[in-house]
Amino acid sequence: MKRRKLKSFVLPSLLMIGIVAAVFGTAIVGKNLNKAKDDASENLNYVSNVILDNDVAVINTTTKVINPYTDQAVTIGKYYYDYKGASDAQEKSIIYHDDTYMQNSGVDFVSENVFDVVAVLDGTVTDVKEDDTLGKIVEIKHDNEYISIYQSLSEISVKKGDKITQGQVIGKSGTNELDKEIGNHLHFEFYVNGQVVDPSLYLNKELQNTKTKE
C-alpha cells in the first residue's frame, strides 16, 4: 500500500478545530452547571423565623448579704441552734419560755440601745404583723427563693407590698415576750427554698443570683 503524505496546512487546521471544540464544550458545561445551581437555589427553603421563640436570656450576678443592722455596738446574744453542732454551742442556742425549752431558729442581735434594722437584700415586703409573743414582725421575699424575717421590732417603717432596697431601714429593735431576758434585740431568721437555715452561713457572704435579662 502506498502511503499518502498530508499536506502542510492540514495539521494546523485540525489543531485549531480541536481547540475551538474544547472551548465551546467548556462553555456549554459551565452553562449547564450554573443552571443546575440556580434550580437548586430555587428549591431551597430559607429559615426566616426563630426556631425557639420561648428562649429567655439570663444574666448571673453575685450579691453580698449584709447584716440586718448598721450600729457597730450590736453583738450576738443568742445563736442559731445547729442540730449537728457541739453540745456547748447548742446550750447557748436554747430558748426557755413558759416552762418550755426551744431551739433558736435564728440569730438574736442585741444592744443596750435601740438600733435601726435594715434589709439584708433587695426584695418585697410580703408580711407585716404583730404577735403577742414575738413582737412586731416584717417578712421580706428576695430573688431566688430567699426570705428574711425580722422579729421583736419596736417600730416598723414599711408596709406589705413595698419594694425594699438592700440597707433600707425597715424598723427598730425592741423586746418581746419570748426573749425578754436578753432585753433590746432583733431576732433574725433566714430561709432558703422554704427551709430555715443558720443566718451566719449567709450574712456577709456572696450569693449567686440568676435574673431574666430585659
- Based on the fold, state whether residues 141 and 78 are members of the same structural domain: yes
> In this structure, is residue 23 part of a structural domain?
yes
pLDDT of residue 55: 57
Shared domain check, 63 and 41:
no
Query: 65 and 109: one domain?
Result: yes
The residue among 155, 179, 144, 169 whose CA lies nearest residue 68 is 169
Beta strands 58-64; 135-141: pairing state: unpaired
Closest CA to 114 of 174, 170, 161, 189: 174
101's CB contacts (< 8 A; 6+ apart) are 94, 95
> In whole angstroms, what is the distance from residue 184 CA to residue 112 CA?
6
Confirm whether 17 is domain-assigned. yes
CATH assignment of the domain containing 128: 2.70.70.10
pLDDT at 94: 86
- What DSSP string runs through 100-111? EEEE--SEEEE-
Using CA atoms, how far apart are residues 192 and 171, in angstroms rounded to an integer? 23
92 and 34 within one domain: no
Residue-level pLDDT at 51: 46
One domain, residues 152 and 101? yes
Calpha distance 57→207 (Å, rounded): 20
Chunk the chain into consecutive blocks of 10 residues (it has 214) and report each block's average pLDDT, rounded to whole numbers.
Answer: 48 53 51 53 50 55 92 95 84 82 92 98 97 96 96 97 98 93 96 95 84 49
Q: Give pTM, 2 decimals.
A: 0.69
Segments forming the whole domain that contains residue 100: 58-212
Let me know whether 33 and 125 are in one domain. no
Residue 53 resides in a domain: no
Predicted local distance difference test score (pLDDT) of residue 161 = 98
Q: Which grid coordinates are listed for 175?
A: 423586746
SS3 content of the chain, % helix, strand, coil (to 5): 20, 35, 40
